[in-house]
Amino acid sequence: PIDPNFPANHQVIEKFKDPLSENYHLVWGPGRLAEASSNPKVKSDSEATGEEIKPIGVHGTFVAVDWDSCIADGVCLLSCPVKVFEWYKNPGETGRNDRKDYTDKANPVKEADCIWCMACVEVCPTKAIKVDQL
């Protein structure tokens, strides 16, 4: 589940720009980039496997998804009436996880459009989402 106090317990590690719009949101870590700089094993593992180290942590601030908890269930994308989320690996896709890629993540690229219905918070099986009314 998401840490409800993530803004206090984490720091901003990246600004994520939606490839399909001018929207961006904050990414809160530690996360794997910070881990890589403090843990040489993470870095050497990534060099050995060729896997790029990408930031992972909490994406978004007012609609926040903990990417370490998200298992790409996809029910949040389906339940959001204003399509706040899109798939990280498949930008622009807002439907169910038909590819069955459970390494993809729900990306809150339109968090400013949220109408605080709380549907996503209630349905996520891993309680990965926190929504705060502004």
Chain residues that interact with ligand F3S, rule: CB under 6 A: 65, 70-76, 106, 124-126, 128-129
> What is the distance, to the nearest Å, from the Cα of residue 25 to the centroid of all Cα atoms in its chain?
10
Number of Cβ within a 10 Å radius of residue 61:
18
User: What is the C-alpha to C-alpha distance for residues 9 and 29, in angstroms, rounded to an integer?
Assistant: 9
Q: Closest separation between CB of residue 118 and ligand SF4, Å? A: 5
Angle at 67 between CA 66 and CA 72, to 5 degrees: 115
Q: Among residue numbers 3 through 62, which ones bind ligand SF4 (CB under 6 A)?
A: none
Please name the helix (run of DSSP H) or strand (run of DSSP E) that holds residue 66, with its range, or none. strand 63-66
Our finding on whether 117 is near ligand SF4 (CB under 6 A) is: yes
3-state secondary structure of 133: coil
The stretch among 34-42, 48-56, 92-100, 108-116 that binds ligand SF4 (CB under 6 A) is 108-116
Q: Which amino acid is at 89?
A: K
Size of the site for ligand SF4 (CB under 6 A): 14
Our finding on whether 79 is near ligand SF4 (CB under 6 A) is: yes
Q: Closest separation between CB of residue 98 and ligand F3S, Å? A: 13
Our finding on whether 109 is near ligand SF4 (CB under 6 A) is: no
Per CB under 6 A, the list member of 9, 89, 115, 127 interacting with ligand SF4 is: 115
User: What is the C-alpha to C-alpha distance for residues 67 and 16, in angstroms, rounded to an integer?
Assistant: 13
Residue numbers at the binding site for ligand SF4 (CB under 6 A): 63, 79-82, 84, 114-120, 131
